């Protein structure tokens, strides 16, 4: 093991050195990749040294999400202390269902949950770490469904139509989850948005009232705090007034934008969150924690255990539900995703998070200002968070993004805004500097033939 650890550190150091150079990483087509790196498995094993050599080769050709040329997803970069904790997590290999097995890791997760609940405005709240924002949304939607139809968990649905409400800019996981929950994908009402891409409250109320008149059972409204393309925020306080009026669960998908709660000024974008029933918050996005690190928080303690707890004497043999997360989790065996976030929070503190977020927001403002200075570029709208959407005159964003990827100059995505396909630049990497933004725009202009 000593030898393996030494070799892993060598591979890691090579990766860090390459990232510091921020050198181009040209795209490798799948067929070429299979020729370049032997990925095949066989009936007989190979020596450990050969395995390590193949691992090193794979690392060298894997897209580098911590490179300062990576602007493609809602996660990027690396918090070094969190990555160190992640490595130790794999070595410890504890499952997060009981204190008996995981010891202090359960206390750490509870500490993290309590801190996040405090920022969310849930003083009596609780929560659980889940494997991704889509899964957190699934749990929030299930909690709403079970409250709307209390006998469903034990007896199944009674035949009435169950409905959910999501803005047209909301995350696709909500529709997918409706299919998983058995309520039906066709029963997710996609609510119209305003000119900035935020849910229209009048359209929401009209959709709910129409369903109620038809005898349907509204399960939950899923509001979005940080939409995928524009990074916009639904008006939570106004939406909460509608859900409270009709007694409907309000789940907030803050997978992306929930982290803005840690910024003294930007947290106002989530005004009214304290009125929600549940919240998705991904620490692996703006907080820079290694994948995966997602939390599902509830405003009231006990909601999760009431909907998930089952008898398992062979497992829950000591302590109470607070120390046995398996009693409030969709999973039994569960990876430890709290340790790395705890290590990062220790290192940064609340103030450090605010500083990090301010830099990310500054980079978005800087990028928006560059767009506005370019005569051939048009900004879709002022960035609400770290998403900057823009078009380039005469350029096809999909083709330009593909050309930049093929050359290795940058990884940047595109999306649709008001019927137009545009560039989507995301400034979530905490190590990004202004010169990195300028280089990206220079590359976009060159690839656009300008």
Residue 160 burial (10 A CB sphere; 0-12, 13-18, 19+): exposed
Tokens matching residue 76 = 């990027």
Parallel, antiparallel, or unpaired for β 217-224 and 162-167? parallel
Please check whether the domain covering 86-344 is classified as CATH 3.30.70.100: no
What element of type H or E holds 162? strand 162-167
User: What number is the average pLDDT over the span 267-294?
Assistant: 97
What pLDDT does 319 receive? Answer: 75
Give per-residue pLDDT as tens, 363-381: 999 999 999 999 999 999 9
pLDDT (0 to 100) of residue 237: 98
pLDDT tens digits along 15-71 = 999 888 888 888 999 999 999 999 999 999 999 999 999 999 999 999 999 999 999
> pLDDT tens for residues 146-201?
999 999 999 999 999 999 999 999 999 999 999 999 999 999 999 999 999 999 99
- Residue 417's pLDDT band, with cuts at 50, 70 and 90, is very high
Half-sphere exposure of 220 (CA within 13 A, CB side): 29
Q: Is the pLDDT of residue 140 over 80?
A: yes
Question: What DSSP state is assigned to residue 314?
Answer: T
DSSP 327: G
Helices 201-213 and 236-246 sit at what angle, rounded to 10 degrees?
20
Predicted confidence at residue 55, as pLDDT, reads 96
Q: Which of 402, 414, 416, 415 is nearest to 447 (CA)?
A: 402
Give the per-residue pLDDT at 25. Answer: 83
Question: 86 or 320: whose pLDDT is higher?
Answer: 86
Q: Is the pLDDT of residue 311 over 80?
A: no
Identify the three-state secondary structure at position 294. Answer: strand
pLDDT of residue 23: 81
Strands 377-379 and 387-392: antiparallel
Question: Strand, coil or helix: what is 242?
Answer: helix
Question: What pLDDT is stored for residue 315 in this prediction?
Answer: 74
% of the chain beyond a pLDDT of 70: 100
Q: Of the candidates 432, 256, 262, which has an alpha carbon nearest to the alpha carbon of residue 351?
A: 262
Residue tagged 């725009």 (tokens): 441
The angle at the Cα of 253, spanning 247 to 259, to the nearest 5 degrees, equals 125
Mean pLDDT of the chain: 95
* Burial class of 447 by CB neighbour count within 10 A (0 to 12, 13 to 18, 19+): buried
């Amino acid at each position: 093991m000593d030898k393996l650890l030494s070799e892993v550190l060598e591979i890691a150091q090579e990766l860090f050195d390459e990232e510091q150079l921020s050198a181009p990483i040209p795209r490798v087509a799948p067929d070429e990749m299979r020729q370049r790196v032997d990925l095949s498995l066989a009936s007989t094993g190979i020596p450990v040294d050969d395995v390590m050599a193949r691992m090193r080769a794979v690392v060298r050709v894997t897209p580098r999400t911590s490179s300062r040329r990576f602007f493609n997803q809602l996660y990027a970069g690396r918090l070094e202390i969190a990555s160190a904790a992640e490595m130790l997590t794999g070595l410890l290999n504890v499952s997060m269902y009981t204190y008996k097995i995981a010891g202090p890791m359960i206390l750490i997760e509870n500490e993290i949950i309590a801190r996040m609940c405090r920022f969310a405005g849930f003083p009596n709240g609780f929560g659980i770490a889940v494997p991704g924002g889509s899964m957190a949304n699934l749990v929030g939607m299930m909690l709403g469904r079970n409250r709307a139809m209390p006998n469903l968990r034990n007896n199944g649905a009674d035949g009435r139509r169950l409905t959910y409400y999501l803005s047209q800019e909301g995350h696709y996981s909500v529709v997918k989850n409706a299919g998983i929950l058995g309520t039906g994908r066709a029963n997710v009402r996609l609510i119209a948005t305003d000119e900035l891409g935020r849910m229209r409250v009048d359209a929401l109320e009209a959709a709910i009232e129409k369903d109620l008149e038809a005898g349907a059972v509204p399960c939950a409204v899923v509001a979005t705090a940080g939409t995928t393309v524009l990074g916009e925020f639904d008006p939570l306080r106004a939406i909460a007034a509608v859900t409270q009026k009709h007694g409907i669960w309000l789940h907030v998908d803050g997978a992306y934008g929930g982290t803005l709660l840690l910024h003294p000024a930007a947290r106002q974008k989530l005004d009214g969150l304290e009125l929600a029933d549940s919240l998705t918050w991904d620490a692996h996005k703006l907080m820079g924690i290694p994948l995966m690190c997602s939390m599902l928080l509830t405003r009231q303690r006990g909601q999760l255990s009431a909907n998930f707890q089952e008898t398992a004497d062979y497992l829950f043999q000591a302590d109470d539900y607070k120390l046995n997360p398996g009693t409030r989790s969709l999973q039994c065996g569960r990876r430890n995703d709290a340790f790395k976030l705890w290590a990062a929070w220790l290192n940064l503190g609340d103030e450090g998070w605010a500083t990090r977020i301010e830099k990310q927001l500054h980079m978005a403002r800087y990028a928006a200002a560059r767009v506005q200075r370019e005569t051939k570029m048009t900004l879709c709208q002022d960035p609400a968070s770290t998403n900057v959407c823009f078009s380039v005159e005469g350029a096809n964003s999909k083709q330009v993004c593909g050309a930049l990827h093929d050359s290795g100059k940058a990884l940047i995505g595109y999306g649709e805004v008001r019927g137009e396909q545009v560039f989507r630049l995301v400034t979530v990497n905490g190590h990004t500097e202004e010169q990195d933004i300028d280089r990206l725009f220079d590359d976009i202009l060159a690839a656009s033939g300008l």
